[in-house]
Chain A
């Protein structure tokens, strides 16, 4: 580098103020190099053992950053799901009668083993799902361990959950989890179920089974009794078998609203308990007195976190019209130095879209936005030649009737709408079949309190977004599902009282 040239100082005002986010100082590649210790092939985890599927069939798990196969995953059939349930049912009496403090020991052990292998799991999670290593390292893994630690603490305190009542576990619970936070959703589901003394049959999403099956190694190393947790892998058909199995006392599902509705229809009249955590189309509401720079950061975190593959993503931005002209250019500047690319690079902000199918869906909705007349902005960043990538996308001039304002996109696409009054903001925010989360940005405390009661959303974040804690219940209103995960409320969904 030569010494930065000293330009003669202009003493007159420049007119066209523009910021240059160029390549004067490029970051060199900084790949995370920890070994994910992957196997060529993963089997089912039933009754404490890794066993081949009876049908002998396997499917490929694709690394979305390269489009190439990462591992072969066992495809469970109905007999395998049945074997898993029977193993769980056999394990249930002893596991549920174990004193809470002893169950806690297993959970503490699992949490610590997960922490010990955090780097390895983070790399595996990133390779399997496409999320940036920064997020799997700084969010997914620490949060997953935190959920086990938190619920370990509850295991010997069941009688305090329902004062005066007796809390008993439900039995075997069937759980089906999505592909956006494979390991974290597994932790959200497993930890409370185990702490309360239930046994589990869990199916991860077909595109992201690797960390789940790696996690089985941790369960084995923790000495968890065989059959307490069983993993069956495969696509929707396996999920349906897990949901429908007669031994399931309860079903917990996180995923799309469409599948959630099918599950509800299927389970009607069976007496099985269920919790559903489904889609969302959250409004992030920016008032004119908000801390705008931090709001812009929160907007970015709200929609581009995990490539927008977040059910509570703040995918609708509602900006008060008096500050829209200040917020939108700042948002565009911010988008220009988001780094899209190799998820394993420690400087990557936006990684790969989880699957080819999801990429096609996102592209389809972006095209619909353009067709319906919204203004599309994408920064001119370079995308990798291979793998499933899309530029962060911002739509302005969006109305409530645009498809991109109504449908869950589940990708890095933000729709910007404006509003004039508080009432209009609430009306627009609630004008959606979903009700999972919302964000409010204002310097006025009273307005936060007012909106937190008026917004029909399970979570309302104030002057922040996408904040999670194991002690804080998470769940939805309306078509975003029911039941809560985390906190005391989350435990109640894994217990029967009396």
Chain B
């Protein structure tokens, strides 16, 4: 895999090609005109539920809140046909609490690590955090890349750090957060995607954002990363997963992201082993739409557990 690492001989633009901002935004606008109705809507909604990384990443998180989150993750709503979500996503300190509630189920424990969200800690601290989270029972690690190094042009360093986190992960799945809003351009998002994909393992993920900055997952940066995943797959045969995170709050948005997956990477990525949504409010909107499809009318917010609507 080292051979595929970032080559210094060839400029990265020549190696990976540029992205045309107008073109990519035009492309994704077409996804939003897809009309998803009836059975296909229901399938998409359920599929999206199964892809949610149900997330709480706040300073005020407590074991109790995490317990509540885990219950929601296991059984999002009444009814046998609603799948559990893919994972709960928490801070490292909450991993052992989450572990207790989801042990033996299909729901994974994902932990952000590497001094999330800024990544501004010494590498050894970040690696230690990863090891601690894995040691506490995290199945998946969501790391942040070193954006400072990336923007300063130290691409080799960014990639080496990712490789070291891969090693620290052991058996845990890794999701590499590019923090797209800090990379500024689609070109940079594409470049960073390739930097990460060259050193992570099949089944690991690249992820848009921490959810802690102004602009998070959009259809356009999702598309740039999906295109990169497809190119990497066609080139190497290594299938990398994708996780847009932050800003996806409605079922309608989630379906549009899934349309992008279907029309870019195809059927093999329409599964939670290869596609995830990092979200919290999204889950209840998905459930609300599923109930609407089933019953023909919208249910009140209080019919859904953990609803955050204010009335």
Contact = CB atoms under 8 A, between A and B. Distances in A.
Interface of A: 1-7, 9-17, 19-30, 134, 138, 289-295, 297-298, 329, 337, 346-347, 443, 463-464
B18 A27 contact: no
A337 B267 contact: no
A1 B258 contact: no
Q: What DSSP secondary structure best describes chain A's contact surface?
A: loop
Contacts of A27: 34-37, 40
Contact of A14 (B14, B81, B238): B238
B48 to A, nearest CB: 11
A2 B233 CA distance: 27
A323 B124 CA distance: 42
A6 B267 CA distance: 14
Contact of A25 (B83, B234, B262): B262
7 contacts: A1-B83, A10-B202, A12-B202, A17-B237, A27-B36, A293-B24, A298-B23
Contact of A3 (B23, B43, B106, B233): B106
Contacts of A346: 33-35
A443 B13 contact: yes
B271 A9 contact: no
Given A4-B47, A29-B37, 10 more contacts: A1-B46, A1-B47, A6-B271, A20-B267, A22-B267, A25-B270, A290-B17, A293-B27, A298-B23, A346-B33
B203 A9 contact: yes
B68 interface: no
B272 A4 contact: yes
Interface in B254-304: 258, 262-263, 265-268, 270-273
B20 to A, nearest CB: 4
A291 B17 contact: yes
B83 A21 contact: no
B202 A297 contact: no
B60 interface: no
A401 to B, nearest CB: 32
Contacts of A291: 17-20, 23
Contacts of B34: 27, 346-347
A54 B56 CA distance: 77
A6 B273 contact: yes
Interface residues of B, number: 53
Contact of B40 (A4, A28, A138): A28
Question: Which of A15, A329, A464 has the most CB atoms of chain B within a 10 A radius of its CB?
Answer: A464
A26 B39 CA distance: 9
Interface string B34-68: 11111111111011001000000000000000000
B237 A25 contact: no
Nearest to A293: B227
A6 B203 CA distance: 11
B29 to A, nearest CB: 10
Contact of A17 (B233, B263, B267): B233
B43 A25 contact: yes
B273 A1 contact: no
Question: Which of A7, A12, A20, A293 has the most CB atoms of chain B within a 10 A radius of its CB?
Answer: A293
B270 A9 contact: no
A272 B266 CA distance: 57
Question: Which of B38, B40, B41 has the most CB atoms of chain A within a 10 A radius of its CB?
Answer: B40
B164 interface: no
B252 interface: no
B249 interface: no
Nearest to A338: B263
Contacts of B267: 20-25
Given A20-B267, A293-B227, A25 B20 contact: no
A3 B19 contact: no
B230 interface: yes
Interface string B86-129: 00000000000000000000100000000000000000000000
Nearest to A134: B33
B266 A4 contact: no
B270 A24 contact: yes
Contacts of B197: none
B201 interface: yes
A192 B193 CA distance: 50
B84 interface: yes
Contact of B266 (A12, A20, A295, A443): A20
B237 A15 contact: yes
B33 A22 contact: no
A21 B237 contact: no
B237 A463 contact: no
B26 interface: yes
B271 A4 contact: yes
Contact of B18 (A3, A297, A443): A443
B50 A19 contact: no
B239 interface: yes
A15 B43 CA distance: 31
A152 B201 CA distance: 61
A7 B263 CA distance: 22
A4 B270 contact: yes
B237 A14 contact: yes
A1 B43 contact: yes
A131 to B, nearest CB: 15
B305 interface: no
Contacts of A26: 40
A291 B185 CA distance: 14
